[in-house]
């Protein structure tokens, strides 16, 4: 009698331990470390214009997530043209729902110290990253309407938050984005923004502000412009 009860108890413990292990093993691996820089391999580089590129970095496993809260950013470390260390904040355009990778859309300026590092970065190279960083952390339903103003490469943190809001079916927040640039060619993530505006037309509006307007170029913009 006691032996059978002991066997049952051992079996129950084994099942519980196995269930805990299985549950924990299915949790996505968070890759960021707020205290130490970690290296991530560049697996793809897409040149979007003469001075803008999209960099795709692989995470350790296909199911790993970066672990970046919405509204926060990462610190990237590199070397300038003089070989001196430089650290600059960037916001990925991907979310944790994009498992196994993260992407950075970078505008590279002629005299930018970190811009030099990204210009030299080739597929197979590694980027040192630390995070999360930042004081703001968006919570679903935090506000009824989210107004955003961005200029140039400052669109990336706005895109991150807007995408997180719109792709969450439980978040009913409406987003209005004013996005300023010098010219039509300078509009970063334009296709992605217009896709969001078309797909979530009742909750997302984007307004373009341009210093230099050539109407033949902007006539095909499907979202609202000023």
Distances (CA, A) of 112 to 7, 109, 119, 147: 68, 5, 10, 30
* Residue 92 marked in a binding site: no
* Residue 90 marked in a binding site: yes
d(CA 111, CA 92): 22
* Residue 29 marked in a binding site: no
d(CA 38, CA 67): 13
Burial (CB count within 10 angstroms: exposed 0-12, middle 13-18, buried 19+), residue 189: buried
Q: Could you tell me which residues are beta bridge partners of residue 130?
A: 75
* Residue 175 marked in a binding site: no
* Residue 107 marked in a binding site: yes
Please give the angle made by the CA atoms of 148, 154 and 157, to the nearest 5 degrees.
Answer: 65
Quickly count: other Cβ atoms within 10 Å of residue 43's Cβ.
13
* Residue 215 marked in a binding site: no
Which segments of the chain are extended strands (E)? Answer: 38-47, 52-58, 73-79, 85-90, 101-107, 126-133, 145-151, 174-181, 204-210
Alpha-carbon torsion, ordered 185, 186, 187, 192, to 10 deg: 80
* Residue 114 marked in a binding site: yes
DSSP H/E element including 158: helix 155-166
Q: How does DSSP classify residue 29?
A: P
Residues of each annotated binding site for FAD: 89-90, 105, 107, 114-115, 156
Residues of each annotated binding site: 89-90, 105, 107, 114-115, 156
């Amino acid at each position: 009698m006691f032996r059978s009860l002991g066997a049952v108890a051992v079996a129950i413990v084994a099942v519980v331990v196995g269930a805990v292990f299985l549950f924990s093993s299915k949790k996505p691996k968070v890759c960021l470390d707020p205290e130490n820089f970690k290296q991530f391999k560049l697996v793809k580089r897409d040149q979007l214009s003469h001075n803008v590129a999209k960099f795709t970095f692989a995470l350790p496993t296909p199911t790993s997530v970066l672990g970046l809260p919405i509204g926060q950013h990462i610190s990237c470390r590199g070397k300038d043209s003089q070989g001196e260390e430089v650290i600059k904040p960037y916001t990925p355009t991907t979310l944790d729902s994009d498992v196994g990778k993260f992407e950075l859309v970078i505008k590279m300026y002629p005299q930018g110290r970190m811009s030099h590092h990204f210009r030299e970065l080739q597929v197979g190279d590694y980027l040192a990253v630390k995070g999360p960083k930042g004081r703001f952390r968006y919570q679903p339903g935090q506000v009824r309407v989210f107004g955003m103003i961005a200029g140039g490469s400052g669109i990336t943190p706005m895109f991150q938050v807007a995408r997180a809001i719109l792709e969450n079916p439980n978040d009913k927040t409406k987003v209005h984005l004013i996005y300023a640039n010098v010219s039509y060619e300078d509009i970063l993530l334009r296709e992605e923004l217009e896709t969001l505006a078309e797909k979530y037309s009742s909750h997302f509006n984007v307004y373009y502000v341009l210093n230099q307007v050539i109407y033949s170029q902007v006539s095909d913009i499907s979202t609202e412009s000023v």
